[in-house]
RNA sequence: GCGGAUGUGGCGGAACUGGCAGACGCGCUGGUCUUAGGAACCAGUGCCAACGGCGUGCAGGUUCGAUUCCUGUCAUCCGCACCA
């Protein structure tokens, strides 16, 4: 029995639009609740079934919370800056803003067809000048507080395309577009001092309710390690520092390794005897990505820096210095001490280059592999070959060696963080222009705030320049301007901001989306307080989410937002894979277009299916067969309407199940167990179906519980039986006492193996149960001795026999 | 390399703090109704040499009892700083 879902869905979508059913009112007396999904990048390929999964999940929460009496903010917008739009524009000679406008229209239409309860009155795009004005304004605040600076750093460069490449586009050291070999090129870039916030970003996690794996992801990305920075003298003058977390092995140093891309090797160059060899190695290193370089199996390359020796500060021993590509110029000090007996990477390097090794911690043989800290820490291992520290445990030695070196003034206890400053420049057209002006006389000057927004110019070509500058550099009447300071001739910064800029604060803008005086008013932000529930992909844990937290913490520190953390709960969804269990992609031909599914089966079917397909946080493959099961589920509910007969309240025999189901669905929706929520409703439907008759109230509670997931058909059926619209109704309540069964099926085990089950009364005493159990399984106990009996109330009865 | 996650029937997946493994759905088998079935309904469906035994990647361990806890091991997927 097919129903006309197209008509029904359109009808209710129109109703919600007309009534503004989902408009959130800032300042409303009801308790605020802010539900957020990551706003999409409106790509040319349209909404993905993966979007549908997370938007439906959050929609279900938003709809339930509204019925529970909250003032729910569930907004949607567009993260529309970025290189795909720019690439598309280069190819087709249209302005990216036109392509973006088209794409947004498509996305929005698709979302409307799916019935998401977004508050469309707060919609904006990061590419709107009214929005990016404030992104630029906030950049100026970073600059004015000393948080933005220019630095020269290496970028991936394709000499053929004359373009800066992302690591993704430069994967394998080859340009994705033209296949040319990618090289590293020095470029001056705007940076944000994010590393200043490393400790705060770590501590701030305590004030959030992020999922553990999200917290862990951030903690690892920040990568705090506590250790010692040690000064090392060079024979014949000069010095450098190394960072180590294993100072206890300092007597085992047999050589040092310095980064090929670091500053030290350049300083030493005049004194190096084998310049040719060293330069050649530096060049080779420049062509490798960090990942290639730190890979253990590839980490043995390098060469000695001849003519220069370093002095081990603890014992005055002269040891050689090597170049190695596993040492990164931009992590730590760009130099490491090498203790081959106690670090596997050093060990392999030493073997490959035939270098000396010296064991300084006792407890394992180090002739075939290193005895590393993971194996010796906390095991009471003692030092050997370490002068006055010989005989101390590793833990004691760590402290006393550090103390000695610190007292001597040649070492410092420091925290080191893997997280680096944020490279904020992009040599692209389609991003927020960085509102900075360069004057020969006055240097870098910020634009005046009242001159914002600095608009992207309208031009026809978006090709980058010969030397890899943003296409903006070609637009001379835009570039040439006057210095805000001396009013002389000056040039604009032609780099733009990264895509992450606009998405770092959009959730604040949703709180006060059309404010033209401030990025958002303090009152509005205080009212909404925090994003209560933020959903996004796990892949954004280390990037977007961390950038956003950094941005907010900075705004908090300068008094512009009410909380240091503006996001309370962060959860992540799994991907929707193709039916072949692989990531959906055009090339694999396994892409499912949500429009097709909505056309053939309706939005409600798609929504139920995507909630039912599996654990929300886990990837799940698409199955059109399973989708049909959800279509049948709806048909079954429609047929149930014919069973409605007179009668008030819940049917007596259904009451317990109904109360249990309310509890189950409510709990499941708040713990993202959407699949079992649907399953519980299927069980309820199956049970209703077994009845001769059901009451209107039985049916109504079913429709209410399913409404957050399948809003259209439930509204329609609900109207047909004469109730007011569900979007204006309340969530049902359950009575805990009615969810408890009076009779329980008790499993009986003998020696841990299930033998029988018996029905018992939930409040029966143990003696009664024991008798019943023995009575039931007496034949199985014949000739056996009972060793032990275990009864777990209302759970299990286990008898151990010999 | 670093970091994260996952492994349960033919398939997607359930199983609360250790307590009936396989809920729910798909698929499949047989039947009813029907001009018809990509509709609905009824019965069945983990595996095997089936009154019993075996089963949650693999090998051990703890326990009266392990998908769940511990040790080791194998495999797969994802992220890694200019893709969003």
Interface confidence (ipTM) of the complex: 0.94
Chain A window 489-528: residues with CB closer than 7 Å to nucleic chain B are 498-499
**Does residue A297 approach strand B to less than 7 Å at its CB?**
yes
What Rg do the C-alpha atoms of chain A give, in angstroms? 33
Q: What strands lie across the sheet with A422-423, from one edge to the other?
A: A163-165, A148-158, A183-192, A422-423
Scanning residues 19 through 48 of protein chain A, those with a beta carbon under 7 Å from any atom of strand B turn out to be 40-41
Is beta strand A531-537 parallel, antiparallel or unpaired with respect to A567-573? parallel
Chain A residues 558-577 with Cβ under 7 Å of strand B are none
- Asked whether residue A296's C-beta has any atom of DNA/RNA strand B within 7 A, the reply is yes
Q: Which nucleotide is nearest to A38 (CA to C1')?
A: B84
Cβ neighbours of A751 (radius 10 Å): 12
- Answer whether the bond into residue A453 is a cis peptide, omega within 30°: yes
pLDDT of A2 reads 65
- Please name the residues in contact with A681: beta carbons below 8 A apart, sequence gap of 6 or more: A661, A665, A702, A705, A706
pLDDT averaged per 10 residues, chain A (length 802)? 85 97 96 96 90 96 97 96 83 85 94 97 96 97 96 84 80 79 86 94 93 90 91 91 92 91 85 90 75 59 89 92 84 88 86 90 83 79 90 91 94 91 91 95 95 87 75 89 94 93 96 96 97 92 93 97 95 91 86 93 96 94 93 94 90 93 96 95 95 94 97 96 96 91 85 84 85 83 82 88 82
- pLDDT value at residue A260: 84
Q: Is the CB of A623 under 7 A from strand B?
A: yes
Predicted local confidence at residue A292, as pLDDT: 64
| Distance of alpha carbon A220 from alpha carbon A418, whole angstroms | 8
Nucleic strand B within 7 A of Cβ A686:
yes
Contact predicate A293/A299, CB 8 Å: yes
Would you state the pLDDT for residue A1?
46
Cα A692 to Cα A151, A512, A637, A638, A687, distances in angstroms: 77, 53, 15, 16, 11
């Amino acid at each position: 029995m097919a129903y006309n879902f197209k008509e029904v869905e359109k009808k209710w979508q129109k109703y919600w639009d007309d009534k503004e059913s989902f408009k959130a009112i800032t300042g409303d007396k009801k308790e605020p609740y802010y539900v957020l999904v990551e706003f999409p990048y409106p790509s040319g390929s349209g909404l993905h079934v993966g979007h549908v999964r997370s938007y439906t999940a959050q929609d279900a929460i938003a709809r339930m919370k509204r019925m529970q009496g909250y003032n729910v903010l569930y907004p949607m917008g567009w993260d529309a800056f970025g290189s795909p739009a720019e690439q598309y524009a280069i190819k087709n000679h249209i302005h990216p803003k036109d392509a973006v406008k088209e794409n947004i229209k498509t996305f929005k239409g698709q979302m409307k067809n799916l019935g998401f309860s977004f508050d469309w009155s707060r919609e904006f795009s990061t590419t709107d000048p009214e929005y990016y004005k404030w992104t630029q304004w906030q950049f100026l605040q970073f600059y004015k507080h000393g948080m933005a600076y220019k630095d020269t750093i290496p970028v991936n460069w394709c000499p053929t395309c004359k373009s800066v490449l992302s690591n993704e586009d430069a994967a394998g050291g080859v340009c994705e577009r033209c296949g040319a070999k990618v090289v590293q090129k020095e470029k001056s870039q705007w940076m944000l001092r994010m590393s200043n916030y490393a400790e705060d970003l770590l501590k701030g996690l305590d004030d959030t309710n992020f999922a553990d794996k999200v917290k862990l992801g951030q903690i690892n990305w920040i990568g705090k390690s506590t250790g010692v920075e040690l000064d090392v003298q060079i024979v014949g003058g000069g010095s450098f520092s190394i960072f180590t977390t294993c100072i206890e092995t300092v007597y085992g140093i047999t050589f040092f390794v310095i980064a090929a891309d670091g500053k030290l090797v350049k300083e030493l160059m005049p004194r190096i005897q084998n310049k040719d060899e060293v330069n050649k190695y530096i060049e080779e290193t420049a062509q490798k990505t960090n990942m290639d370089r730190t890979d253990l199996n590839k980490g043995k390359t390098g060469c000695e820096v001849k003519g220069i020796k370093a002095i081990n500060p603890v014992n005055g021993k002269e040891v050689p210095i090597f170049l190695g590509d596993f040492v990164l110029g931009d992590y730590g000090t760009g130099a490491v001490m090498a203790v081959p007996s106690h670090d596997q990477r050093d060990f392999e390097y030493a073997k490959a280059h035939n270098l000396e090794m010296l064991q300084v911690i006792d407890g394992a043989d180090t002739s075939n592999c290193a005895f590393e800290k993971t194996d010796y820490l906390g095991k009471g291992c003692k030092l050997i070959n370490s002068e006055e520290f010989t005989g101390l445990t590793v833990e004691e030695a760590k402290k006393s060696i550090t103390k000695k070196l610190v007292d001597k003034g040649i070492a410092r206890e420091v925290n080191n963080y893997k997280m680096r400053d944020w490279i904020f420049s992009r040599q692209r057209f389609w991003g927020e222009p960085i509102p900075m002006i360069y004057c020969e006389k006055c240097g870098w000057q910020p634009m005046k705030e009242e001159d914002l927004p600095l608009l992207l110019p309208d031009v026809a070509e978006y090709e980058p320049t010969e030397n890899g500058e943003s296409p903006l550099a070609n637009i001379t009447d835009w570039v040439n301007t006057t210095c805000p300071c001396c009013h002389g001739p000056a040039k604009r910064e032609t780099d733009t901001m990264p895509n992450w800029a606009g998405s770092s604060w959009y959730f604040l803008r949703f709180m006060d989306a059309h404010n033209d005086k401030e990025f958002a008013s303090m009152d509005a932000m205080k009212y909404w307080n925090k994003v209560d529930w933020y959903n996004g992909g796990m892949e954004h844990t280390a990037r977007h989410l961390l950038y956003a937290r950094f941005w907010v913490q900075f705004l908090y520190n300068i008094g512009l937002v009410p909380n240091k953390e503006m996001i309370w709960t962060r959860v992540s969804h799994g991907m929707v894979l193709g039916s072949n269990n692989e990531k959906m992609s055009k090339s694999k031909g396994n892409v499912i277009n949500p429009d097709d599914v909505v056309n053939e089966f309706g939005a409600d079917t798609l929504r139920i299916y995507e909630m039912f397909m599996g654990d929300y946080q886990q990837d799940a493959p698409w199955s059109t067969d399973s989708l049909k099961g959800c279509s049948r589920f709806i048909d079954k509910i429609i047929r149930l309407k014919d069973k409605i007969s007179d009668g008030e309240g819940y049917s007596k025999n259904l009451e317990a199940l109904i109360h249990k189901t309310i509890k189950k669905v409510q709990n499941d929706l708040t713990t993202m167990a959407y699949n079992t929520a649907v399953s519980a409703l299927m069980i309820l439907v199956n049970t209703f179906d077994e009845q001769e008759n059901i009451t209107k109230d039985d049916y109504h509670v079913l429709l209410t519980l399913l409404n957050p997931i399948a809003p259209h058909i439930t509204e329609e059926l609900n109207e047909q039986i004469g109730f007011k619209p569900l979007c204006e109704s309340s969530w049902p309540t359950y009575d805990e006492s009615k969810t408890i069964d009076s009779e329980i099926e008790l499993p009986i085990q003998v020696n841990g193996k299930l033998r029988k089950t018996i029905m018992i009364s939930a409040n029966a005493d143990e003696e009664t149960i024991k008798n019943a159990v023995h009575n039931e399984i007496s034949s199985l106990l014949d000739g056996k001795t009972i060793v032990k009996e275990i009864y777990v109330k209302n759970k299990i009865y286990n008898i151990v026999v010999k």
